[in-house]
Amino acid sequence: MNRANELHEAVKRSLERYFKDMDGETPTAIYDMVLKNIERPMIETVLGHAEGNQSLAAQMLGINRNTLRKKMQQLRIKG
C-alpha cells in the first residue's frame, strides 16, 4: 500500500469510527470538523520536517508562503 492510500484509509477509518460513535445521530459540519482536525497537525508536522523554514514548508505543502503564514496565524502555530 502506498503512502497516499495509507492516509486515505486512516481518514476513512476515523470517519467510520466517528459515525459509529454518533450512534445514529445526524452529525453536522463534518467538512469543517475534518479540516480543522487535519490542517493544524499537517502544518506543524511539515514545518518540523522543514526545520521551521516556512518557504520550504510552503513548497512541500504546495501552497504560497503567504498562505502558509496566514494559516499559521489562524491556527495559532508559532513560527
Identify the pLDDT of residue 4: 75
pLDDT tens for residues 20-75?
Answer: 999 889 999 999 999 989 999 999 999 999 999 999 999 999 999 999 999 999 99
- Write down all domains in the chain, each with its CATH number in brackets: 3-74 (1.10.10.60)
Q: Is the dihedral of CA 15, 21, 27, 32 positive or negative?
A: negative
- CB count in 10 Å sphere of residue 45: 11
> What's the predicted TM-score (pTM) here?
0.80
pLDDT tens for residues 5-15?
Answer: 898 999 999 99
CA–CA gap between residue 79 and residue 76 (Å, rounded): 9
Identify the pLDDT of residue 79: 77
